[in-house]
Amino acid sequence: MTTLSVFDQSQPETARTVTENPAEIRELLARHGVRFEQWPTRDLPADASQEEILEAYGDEVAKLKAECGFQAADVVSLNPDNPQKEALRKKFLDEHTHREDEVRFFVRGQALFYLHFGNEVFAVLCQKNDLISVPDGTRHWFDMGPEPEFTCIRLFTNPEGWAADFTGEDIAARLPHYEALAGAAG
């Protein structure tokens, strides 16, 4: 189930707020300009190709492209048997920003987005059906866990794809990781 945990960065060991209510999650995130929606998903084979996934969600991708000016869409999919899973997890675990909105629609599985606003960190456990759009310039990081299992459609205004500016702050190392938060949610 999708959850939102809110932490004070000076007391990272305990979440101040935890909710599983999608309307409340949407409202709390919207206060910071984050778009959160839940969309229906389609039944696709576990080994569906990027092309098959993008075709299945062609109408939704086209709508977001027209609405937000996105130029490119792709699919990222990770499974526990991926030999590069540790390196990929580490790549996204440090706080960073982007010069464009970071949009993900989860068509399978789950992962955590951490969003850093002032003294607060919002940890959003996104799951199948969740669409999240993190505004450009928002400090954040992503934790797919030690055994990643998810598929997301990503949209970009930059046709070259994902590019990050790392903040150099250690906040990500001080908060509970995926193992603690996803385990608590399950």
SS3 content of the chain, % helix, strand, coil (to 5): 25, 40, 35
The total of other beta-carbon atoms located within 10 Å of residue 162's CB is 14
116 assigned ligand-binding residue: no
Smallest Cα–Cα separation from 134: which of 164, 111, 102? 102
Cβ–Cβ < 8 Å for 38, 105: no
CA 161 to chain centre: 15
Binding site annotation covers 140?
yes
Cβ–Cβ < 8 Å for 170, 78: no
Taking CB atoms within 8 Å and a gap of at least 24, the contacts of 172-176 are 172/93, 172/94, 172/95, 172/114, 172/141, 174/9, 174/12, 175/7, 175/9, 175/12, 175/114, 175/121, 175/123, 176/12, 176/13, 176/123
Which residues carry a binding-site annotation?
Answer: 96, 98, 102, 140
Q: Which residues are annotated as a binding site for Ni(2+)?
A: 96, 98, 102, 140
Annotated binding site for Fe(2+): 96, 98, 102, 140
